[in-house]
Amino acid sequence: MFYEVTPLRRNARRLRPEQWPQPEFGYITMATWRPGETSLLRTARVATLYTNVGLMRRPALVLIEPRIAYLPMDGEVWEGTQLESTEEGTKEVEQAWLVRPTKKDSPPLPPFDVKLWMEMRRASGDRPQPPVGKGWIKPERGRDGHGVSAR
């Protein structure tokens, strides 16, 4: 499938919508990187956006351990990390993508309406959810201090 992908962070810092770069267009593939095959020292799931350059396909963007964070109106926000080269070496930094499906030969999608999405989130009462798996569900206790007896 063909996608329009807009990076939402630069140097691990969130960008304001007016700072967002022009979207990249291409195909997204999911793969598993294994230690020894790449610069990562661990196994990781990786999403790669490939764009067409002439007759060749080249990787334009790479997102390590992608997960869907939000589902805005006509797309998804994926969060993960990306590799960045620094003077000290290679490090992983946070990254987020706005991923919107499109067709290969269709006209460009209209710009993403951030204000409308924020209004919809506010109106729905969408608040950040605590992560799944925090704490345990405690069983009810009966009078004898053990689990509730079946009747």
The chain-wide mean pLDDT, for the chain, equals 80
Question: Looking at the predicted structure, is the pLDDT value of residue 148 above 60?
Answer: no
Domain boundaries, the chain: 2-111
Which residues face 100 on adjacent strands? 4
- pLDDT tens digits for 123-145? 766 555 544 444 444 445 555 55
Long-range contacts of 46-53 (CB under 8 A, 24+ apart): 47/78, 47/80, 49/3, 49/5, 49/24, 50/26, 51/24, 51/25, 51/26, 52/26
